[in-house]
Amino acid sequence: MTKGNTTKITDELYAYMLAQNPPLTAAQHGLIEKTWEKFPDAAGMQSAEEQGPLLAFLVGLTGARLVVEVGTFTGFSTLSMAQALPADGRIIACDVSEEWTAYGREAWAEAGVADRIDLRIAPALDTLRSLPAEPHIDMAYIDADKTSQIAYWEELVPRMRQGGLIVTDNTLFHGKVVDESAPGTPAAVRAFNEHVREDKRMESVLLAISDGLTLSRKR
């Protein structure tokens, strides 16, 4: 195996990278700061700052009009995608916490995109199973409990239109995914990655972006 060039991401280089990307809006910056202020022990669940512009870019690239998000937390990723949608676009955002998503609601309203976001407080599998069975979803973002990822995948894939994109976060899981002796979440992420790799309905690539990001396109 030949490993390509590896660049250590220092704080200085990370700041430089962010500066090359489209700037975050005031609502996005405010939501990031409030999440760290209100939920310091859980704020690591928030999508990384560089993922906001990337998700927005993918919405535009796919021409998405209907996005499904599994795992909303305080709504940074939701906001990033909603801002990239056309005015009549919609995100179905799945989460189980009214407390976390309340901060998202405030930011979505501040950004003027609240009408594009259909927040559903319920177990995500219940929400996914309630959606029409035919292919109709343009893009999905999975960033929720890792032990249920295969179940989310199996509900989403048949509902994705041809060429539709599923983005899955944390597919390297802090580097623990390669430790075959690690039980629990690392094992669940490893099983998910293997499941995705073998799924002939989709074509996928796993990229070392943040904590690992897998992009999967419906054949």
Match 């609240």 to its residue by tokens: 114
* Alpha-carbon Rg for the chain in angstroms: 17
Instruction: State the pLDDT at residue 2.
Output: 64
pTM summary value? 0.94
Q: How confident is the model at residue 8 (pLDDT cuts 50, 70, 90)?
A: confident
- Give the mean pLDDT of the chain: 95
Q: What value does the mean pLDDT take over residues 160-168? A: 98
Domain 11-218 CATH (choose: 3.40.50.150, 3.40.50.720, 3.40.980.10, 3.40.50.920): 3.40.50.150
Tens digit of pLDDT for each residue in 184-212? 999 999 999 999 999 999 999 999 999 99
* Geometric angle at alpha carbon 174, from 169 and 177, rounded to 5°: 85
SS3 of 110, please? Answer: helix
Tokens standing for residue 46:
């928030």
Closest by alpha carbon to 95, among 128, 66, 72, 118? 72
Asked whether the beta carbons of 136 and 157 are under 8 A apart, the reply is: no
CB neighbourhood size of 70 (10 A):
27
Q: How confident is the model at residue 1 (pLDDT cuts 50, 70, 90)?
A: low
Asked whether the beta carbons of 132 and 159 are under 8 A apart, the reply is: yes
Tens digit of pLDDT for each residue in 91-103? 999 999 999 999 9
CB neighbourhood size of 46 (10 A):
21
